[in-house]
Every structure is written in C-alpha cells, then in structure tokens.
Structure 1
C-alpha cells in the first residue's frame, strides 16, 4: 500500500491481517527479535499539537531503526508565511522514504498527495479521519476479546468533531459490527451510516447496552461558534461512579 489516508483504503481482510500481524510483531519485540529497517528516513510534519500519536510514532520508529526528521512548524519557514504547497515541495526534494502528517485541514492531505513522490501516513486529519488510531484501538480490543461478533462498543460525547470516532466506526464496521453512539443534539453528526451504527437518544440506555465504552473529550479547539455550557455537559454526560 502507498498512502494511508483513510481506514476505508483497507478491505476487511487487509484490516484483519494488519491486526494479526501486529501480534506477531509484539511477540518479536518482547523476544528482542525485531526486524530492523536500515537507512530508512521518515519525516514528521505535525501541524497540530500531539502527545500520544506523535510519541507513539517516534517510539515505533526507534524500535524499527527508522530515522525521524521532525519538521516543527514553529521552527520552519511556515512561521514566515511559507505555504503548505511550498513546504511540501521542499520536503519532496529530500531523499526520504515517507512522511507522517497531522493537520486540522483535510485539504492539506489532498495537496500532499498531488506533490509528494513518497508515501503519506495520516496521523490525524481535521475532523475527518484518524486511521492509525483505529488500528491501535482494534489491536487493543483484540487483546481483550477473541471475537468481535456481537461485541457492543459505544462511543459517547463529541461525535460531531471526532475523527477518532469517524474512523473507528468505519473500521469496526469492516468486522460486520455496528457501533453504538450517543451524543447530545449539538454534538450529533449531520450524517450517520445506519448500516454500521446504532444511535441512542438516551445516555444511560446507551451505557447499559455496552461491553466497551469509548468516551470522547469535548474538542474545544473546533467548536468555533457553538455555544456549550461545559459544566452542564459534565454534570449530565460525564462517566463517573453513577455509571
């Protein structure tokens, strides 16, 4: 596979093979027998803040022997007003083997696909997609559950702005399973694929019909003109001892 921008680039068989292979890699890691990549270079271009995703990628690259070239926007010519097009064109001239991009704008990935000659990995695209997070989530679930058949997973919270939820719903759907969803009306997505989701109008009903709950944070950085009373939201929808 070349670019990995969206979880839907993988069919069900490919997705399951990736998850299965991750267990093989995990065993090799604990046996200190990981196959290393020699002379491979990977650019990191994170245009949004990241702790978990970026650190996970860095650790994975370290384990695999991959050199990381970290292009920080605040320390690059982008601070001077250089466009994303010019930045990517410059990076395209270097002898590297791939790039990991995170951006608030999905259009940046379309621009990157048109410019770059090496593979692109999506580490978070606006509110659209986060495919590598879905792989991680499915791997974690596979450690706990041998079979996803009939598994009731619920995602609750800010569904409208969550790329994590958007990608997970599609990924879990490839196992033939529906994801349970709940959000208050102001966080409900405008479009829902009812073939792969069950939407609940009642928070407690959703939680009661769950084997696994994924609670989403409110993405304050994406709310713009949406007026939300955060204290009221927490009092009604926080996962706590009541549940």
Structure 2
C-alpha cells in the first residue's frame, strides 16, 4: 500500500498515487455492496468512533454503514447527546474515546484544522469528515470516483463547480483532488461568493454560468446556503436561481453528455431544478452509494493495513 500516513486529513497533502489507491480500493468495496450478503469480516475487532460536532445525515450515516459493512464496532457521538454540552473539549472527548480502545476517530467539526489538531494529539487514526469551510476530502473522493466510474477517466476532463465557492469545503477538496488527477477545473458563481486569488489554485473563474458550461464534461452544483443571501452576498434567491440555477434549458444546451452532480442536500428549485436532478444525466444517487464505498476504502486503509488483501474478497 502507498497510503502509509496514520491519518487522512485532506487532499491538499495527498498525492495522485495515493488518490489512485483509494479509488481502486473503493472499487473492490463497491463490489461488496452489490452482494446478497453485504458484509465482510475485514475490520472485526476494530473500533470506529464517529465524532460529529456538526449536524449531518448523509456523511454520518455513510460512515456508520461503511464501518458496519467491514464488521467494525461503531460508536457515534454527537454534540447534543454527549458531555460536549457540559463544556468538555474536543481533545478530552477524543482522548476518552482513545483510552476506550478506538482505532479510528472520524471527526466532523465547524472549526478548520480540528481534524489536524486531533491527529497531532491522539495515537488513533483520524479521518476528516469535514472541518469548517476548509476541507471535505471524502466527499471529493466520492465525486471523483463517480466521475471516473461514469466517464472512465479524470485526466483531461473539464469539471465545472457552481455556487458558493468561498464557503465550500467540498469545492476546495474537489479542486485539490481533481487537479492532482489531471482534470481541468473551473468555478462559477456570484463574484461575492468566489474567493479572492482562487486562480492561484489553478482554476478558471467565470461569472456567467452559460459561458462556463460550454465544453464542460461535468457540472458539480453546490447547495446555496440561505444565510449568504441574508448577509447580502447576493441580492435574492430569485436572482440566484435565474443566473446560476441549473435548469432543463441549460442542461439541454450543454448537451446530453454532461454529467450532473450535487453533494446534497439539494435546494430543489433554487440551485437545481427537479427536472435536472432527476434526469438521466444526473448521478446524484450514485454519489451517495459511492460514498459508502469510498469511506469503506479509507477505513480499511487506515485500520486494516496488517490485514491481507484477500480478506476483503
């Protein structure tokens, strides 16, 4: 295996060879999910702690299911149902879990760098499930896996990310990962939602969605957060929908080969019309399924290094 780090914190410090290994491992894991018995004993005796300081449905459920499919013991802790509400620190909570025998701590936190802080202070492997607006590596990996599964490659593809780029950990992680795998990445959205100097990340910036869609192979549509409108970062929901909403007219003009993605949850009728979300070009449900395979792959690579490859067959 080439993934030899104790922790998996982001794609900013993950090279192309490591990404390739994760994607290939996920392919084997997805095969498990298609069996009549969707479970293997690979991580039997290992303990995975899901430590979620932010509300989550898809990511938390996906990590839970991934760990259980590998036969790991799983414990999920949320901010509202633990000693965190009594003022216990992130580090104290994690150390408590560590002394109870955790092998992997999956952490989601509103503060950028929270996963890195944990990784530096506990001996258990730390897997970043999203830290503030900084990074969401497993979402980017499942996006890349889905693209490669559908289009056969990543190198040379033109991927467009639409929406609130400035506050999106999904956008950052996708840019880091896709660029390392040879894809061309562009972003589009209101200029107030585009980070300054984002061109330094090697992406092209548009303010016009119709122009940005020309020649794109993939469009990844980000959820618009209503608080951005309330804080004046764009004039109105109606205007955003007209200028940056993915509708059937734009989909038709872009062509039948355009792959449509969304990390969820979707605001139907705002950033994406139902006619687009439910179209034959949409792979949104596949993204959810592939998320389980990606997270199985990472749990295996972090917690099951000493286990022989045939144990996942």
- When normalised by structure 2's length, the TM-score is 0.72
| In 2, Cα distance between equivalents of 1:22 and 1:178 | 23
Q: What is the CA distance between 1:41 and its match in structure 2?
A: 0.6
Q: 1:11 aligns with which of 7, 11, 15?
A: 15
Alignment partner of 1:20 is 2:24: yes
Equivalent residue, structure 1, for 2:239: 232
- Alpha carbons 2:9, 2:116 under 8 Å: kept: no
Aligned residues: 243
Q: What is the CA distance between 1:35 and its match in structure 2?
A: 4.9
The gaps in structure 1 that reach 5 residues or longer are none
Equivalent residue, structure 2, for 1:215: 221
Q: What is the CA distance between 1:44 and its match in structure 2?
A: 0.7
| In 2, Cα distance between equivalents of 1:223 and 1:39 | 48
- Alpha carbons 1:177, 1:196 under 8 Å: kept: no
Change (3 A) 1:43 1:223: farther
Equivalent residue, structure 1, for 2:121: 115
Equivalent residue, structure 1, for 2:186: 180
- Please give the per-residue CA displacement for 1:19-65, whole angstroms capped at 9, x wherever unaligned: 12221222244345745211111111111111111111111111100
Change (3 A) 1:84 1:224: farther
Equivalent residue, structure 1, for 2:142: 136
SS of equivalent to 2:120: helix
The gaps in structure 2 that reach 5 residues or longer are 251-313
Equivalent residue, structure 1, for 2:306: none
Q: What is the CA distance between 1:224 and its match in structure 2?
A: 8.0
Change (3 A) 1:173 1:75: same
Change (3 A) 1:222 1:90: farther
| In 2, Cα distance between equivalents of 1:222 and 1:77 | 32
Change (3 A) 1:129 1:76: same
Equivalent residue, structure 1, for 2:281: none
Change (3 A) 1:230 1:29: closer
SS of equivalent to 2:186: strand
- When normalised by structure 1's length, the TM-score is 0.91
| Root-mean-square deviation (Å) | 2.0
Change (3 A) 1:91 1:220: farther
Q: 1:72 aligns with which of 50, 72, 78?
A: 78
- Alpha carbons 1:157, 1:184 under 8 Å: kept: yes
Equivalent residue, structure 2, for 1:56: 62
